[in-house]
Chain A
Amino acid sequence: METTQAFSSEFYTALLPELMLFAGLLALIIIPNLGKGTFRIPGTQIRLPWFMGGERYALTSNPHLPAWIATITLTGAFLAVGDSLRGGIDSLLVMSSDADEAKELLMINGFSRVFELIFFGALALASFASMNRLKVEGIGAKLDVEKLYNNRRQADFYILMLTCGLGMSVVALAQDLFVLFIGLELASFSTYVLVAFLKETKAGAEAGMKYFIVGSVASGVGLYGLSMLYLWAGSLQFDVLAATFATSGTEPLPLIGIGFVLVGFGFKVSAAPFHFAAPDAYAGASSPVAGVLATASKAMGMVGLIRMLLIVAAPESSEGSAVWLVCLGALAALTMTWGNLAALGSTNPKRMLAYSSVAHAGYMLAGLTAVGAWTWDPSFAGQEGEAALMVLTALLFHMVVLVAFKLGAFLVLSILESDGDASRLSSLGGLAKREPLLAFGMFIFMISLAGVPPMAGFLSKLMVIMGIVNVGVGTGAESLSDFHWVWWLALLMVLNSAVSVFYYLRVAVVMFFDAPEEGREGPLPSGWQVRTSIFACVLVTILVGIFGDSILEMCRSAAESLTTNW
């Protein structure tokens, strides 16, 4: 592992994606403001053009511009990450200084890269697709206030997208719990506003409020947990926390602190019972944003959980298995069951997808539980955490592919929203007749979510199950009672999958069987951007399901990079 200091040359190379984001952010703020603005030299009548404000140029006043800037930035960042992954990344640790007592700030390795991939990929798709979702009312410099205002908001929206991305990547990179928290808050604040972006509707404003309030409480709790951990360990550096936990991990203070922090991240991954705001937020937000919440934001929460639970309260620092094992197992079981049961009767496709995302959180938590359990079988210890590695790979893989089919599903709903409404199941009615390809895409997303082969969702779910079972089975088990109880989580998971098929399939039935709603017989609004995004999602969903080996390898090396110390 190489180390470097902040603002060194390696630092810039390694953080290229984030810097791109930053540049894009600046561009987004500046470019729409470029205009024929002048600056009067005080005391004179001389007006010097300083190109800010005033009447905008034709190009800079173009409301499509922010979207393109954001999309290109995010795509560039995505590609940069992908490029760095392609060559196989060495870990790079960014220290605060080159002194001995310097603190670890950021860690760029496979693990963080994969998450960056998830974040930027999801955000890029969402912002690309949002071009069709956020309507541009008029183009040009000379418009009435109403329209100018709307155009202005275009820029706001994409700025928030970029800040969100920036915050998330900080979360992925952070080596200090507080840095992680700052990143989390940055991303959270952005998402609060993004959710509330449709503030001119009742649902939008309400969704933003709920997401904000519950999110704030959760982060308040999390911050309090942080403060307790700080009180306990005297530092929020992960390595320090981990080392301290290994020696005095069973004291009440760190346990309470971890519990608090768990709540904070639990909200982000929408684990039950912290998920309540999620369905409301998804329902009120515009669909691409909801898609981001369900994929990137969830992945961000998972980063936090992984760091907290696997690095700090590492399983091997406790006897047998991690202290939080039972707690997380219960949480996982509750989350997946709750999510699926709630989705079962939901007639709003967005809420249905929200609950399904809760269920998926449950699956991921189940996987995480298994990681916590891998040390139970002493013979695993000799295998350098092979079992844990497998689950972790599965988790990462699941989060990667989830972007394709979860976001894809939301994007399909996004087109329907542009058509009028997507808050009823019947909005999807007759989609197969209206837009056969879209219906086909949606069907692919649905069965992938349900975990039907050969879609990516099947492979990822299989991987998670396999990881759990691997831990559960241990070595030399001869009967069910020899298994670790996490095996039963796998059983619960497959049964939940079976339940989930019901509501996923209902979407398919509505699309292929039911008649369209009154007055919605024709084709959907056009918009090649969103359709391209959906197409990309379909492609990834199918291809990764069939030829996902390279992605799998990537996730594996990412997981390895997290666990090099195991």
Chain B
Amino acid sequence: MQLVGFPVVAGIVLLAFVANAKKSAHEKLNNPIRMASFAFSLGLFAYTTAMFFDAFADITTSGLAFNDYKFQDSYEWFPALGIHWTVGLDALSFPMVWLTTFLLPVTIIATWHEKNGATYFPTLLLMGGALIGVFVSLDLFMFYVFWELTLIPMFFLILNWGGKDRKYASQKFFIYTFTASVVMLLGLVTLYLMQPEQIGAGGKYGTMTGRTFDIPTLVEHATAANQNGWFLGESMQKVLFVMLMLGFLVKLPAVPFHTWLPDAHVQAPTGGSMLLAGVMLKMGAYGMFRLPLSMFPHALQHFQLALMIFGMVSLVWGAIVCLGQTNLKKMVAYSSVSHMGVILIGIATMQPMGWAAALFMMFAHGIISPMLFAVCGAFKHHYHSMEIGAMRGMAKHSPWLATSMMFAWMASLGLPLLAGFVAELMMFIALWYFIDLQGWSVLWMVGPALVLALTAAYYLWSMQRTIFEGGDETQPPASLNGDVVPDITNEEKMAMLILAAFTILFGVMPWIGLDMMDDYCRTFFEHMISNGIFKGGA
């Protein structure tokens, strides 16, 4: 299957559209381009969904193991450097790819009436293409290229369609994450050059450098080397682990590297926020799984405590800061920080269940957080304000928005049978199991427990002051200037319904995605254990 085509086609489509959009008949172009983008994204979605249901000949997506890829495809790119256009899907990337293609049409629907649609929708597509590229690439170089490429459309989404301070926010977003990723790049390059040189080995190896950027090969290498000591040597593995993690932690983001996120989110347009929170943050976690965790298991064990601390701090700090926010979108943004802490904790438990929890959290949060931001966007769009309490009694005037908001909020606070709960539950189980196994202090449970309550607190507080209260004595926000209070548009309703439906779907039937992730984590650990890399009492 020519999976390679996805991001490329998306990009080409964009370029074609941009060329079109140059015409002065800008307004007229909005609709056809919107429809075309929508159709294209829908096609992508249908395609990945079909892949999921094993629609393609001899390839099944079930039973995917660690370092085992489907739909793999490889072309020479820079043979001198051992760079290949290698793509493939495994249980790690497949849910993320599906999520991206799922969110694209939904985002388009949710922001159907965004201004300058002729350029907006193609930018969204390009964003999606770049994101897919990150997830499908099995080549370090390609991975990095797409990793950075995602910055550009997002930069423009924020800059062109963002809020008042978009200028500052877009630059901060770009520079902050770029800074982290260049350090990561240095780590990648060092990793690349520290692998044993095999000039003339052909295959994936560069003719000039004798090294390869090929991730499966590197992982194999690393596993073999890790069996007898540390791949690349103890101190080097640690250094590289830190360098790579730095890039991923900023992207995730983990406290204290998170301050770009609230700025970016608050200023970003709804569509940008949806993709940013839905997929882009997951790039950080995905990268961790794909690279450092797969290649540097010893370092992972060594830095387990540090990861746990990062996770806990993000989790708790994010939640507490949420409670102190009066801006709806900022609150939601910080809740993302908090939820990303769950992912880190899941990883730090070094339990298959914790990892599966992290993976499923990525996935679930990828469905829930777009809904959160869609709600915020609709709120902003209709009430011209982001302040909690600016609009009360929404249940009366805007029952649809109120319902969507409540649903999204409840999903995010981990209500059972909605997607987020499963991940939280597994994280809790894995964390406790781990604490008990390793004899860590019970106090480690305090943070997550506190956050369970705090999360409910800030969400309920914000609902009390937006959905409830008011009512007959309407309190429409001053920013409406006495206009009739509008409910959300049909398109927004549709997007909310879709997101809600999938939130329920994956809450009730998590196995759809979770079985795959479980296989991955299980085989990963079994692989590491059977190779003697993870030893008893680690």
Contacts and interface: CB of A to CB of B under 8 A. Distances in A.
A498 B182 contact: yes
A415 to B, nearest CB: 17
Nearest to B179: A498
Contacts of A501: 174-175, 178-179
A452 B151 contact: yes
Interface string A72-100: 00000000000000000000000000000
Interface in B144-163: 144-149, 151-152, 155-156, 159-160
A436 B239 contact: no
B174 A505 contact: yes
Contact of A390 (B77, B146, B209): B209
Contacts of A470: 193, 209
B85 to A, nearest CB: 10
How many chain A residues sit at the interface, stated as a range, is 35 or more
A549 B80 contact: yes
Interface string B179-201: 10011011001101110010100
B186 A469 contact: yes
A436 B175 contact: no
B-side interface mostly: helix
Given A454-B145, A512-B160, A553-B80, A465 B186 contact: yes
Nearest to B183: A494
A477 B178 contact: no
B194 A473 contact: yes
Nearest to B196: A475
B208 A390 contact: yes
Interface size class of B (residues with CB under 8 A): 35 or more
B221 interface: no
Contact of B166 (A478, A513, A553): A513
Contacts of A552: 78, 80-81, 208
Interface in B381-439: none
Nearest to A498: B179
Contacts of B197: 475
A548 interface: yes
Contacts of B235: 478-481
Contact of A509 (B159, B199, B208): B159
Nearest to A547: B77
Nearest to A432: B160
A556 interface: yes
A509 B167 contact: yes
Contacts of B81: 463, 466, 552
Given A473-B190, A478-B234, A549-B79, A453 B144 contact: yes
Interface string B223-239: 00000000011111001
A506 interface: yes
A548 B78 contact: yes
Contact of B149 (A393, A454, A490, A502): A454
Q: Which of A454, A481, A490 has the most CB of B within 10 A?
A: A454
A492 to B, nearest CB: 10
A197 interface: no
B113 interface: no
A506 B171 contact: yes
Given A458-B148, A513-B159, A549-B77, A505 B175 contact: yes
A196 B178 CA distance: 39
A461 B167 CA distance: 27
A201 B167 CA distance: 35
Of residues B144, B152, B232, which shows the largest number of chain A Cβ atoms within 10 Å of its Cβ?
B152
Contacts of B141: 462
A452 B148 contact: yes
B28 interface: no
Nearest to B184: A494
B115 interface: no
B39 to A, nearest CB: 25
A478 B236 contact: yes
Nearest to B170: A509
A453 B83 CA distance: 14
Given A469-B186, A479-B235, A495-B182, A509 B22 contact: no
A97 B27 CA distance: 73
A437 interface: yes
A497 interface: yes
Interface string B356-386: 0000000000000000000000000000000
Interface string B65-88: 000000000000111110000000
A213 interface: no
B175 A477 contact: no
Contacts of A436: 22
B175 A498 contact: yes
Interface string A526-552: 000000000000000000000011001
A377 interface: no
A368 B151 CA distance: 31
A381 interface: no
A233 B193 CA distance: 40
B189 A512 contact: no
A447 interface: yes
Contacts of B193: 466, 469-470, 473
Interface string A468-494: 011001010111110000010011001
Nearest to A494: B182
A10 interface: no
A480 B193 CA distance: 14
Interface string A369-403: 00000000000000000100010010000000000
Given A386-B199, A501-B178, 14 more contacts: A437-B22, A466-B192, A478-B234, A480-B236, A490-B186, A494-B182, A494-B185, A501-B175, A502-B171, A505-B175, A509-B159, A512-B159, A549-B77, A552-B208
User: Across chains A and B, which 4 residue pairs bring their CB atoms closest together, nearest first?
Assistant: A478-B233, A479-B235, A498-B179, A453-B145
17 contacts: A390-B209, A452-B149, A454-B145, A458-B145, A477-B233, A478-B233, A479-B234, A490-B189, A491-B186, A498-B183, A501-B174, A508-B155, A509-B171, A512-B159, A548-B78, A552-B81, A552-B208
Interface of A: 386, 390, 393, 436-437, 440, 447, 450-454, 458, 462-463, 465-466, 469-470, 473, 475, 477-481, 487, 490-491, 494-495, 497-498, 501-502, 505-506, 508-509, 512-513, 548-549, 552-553, 556
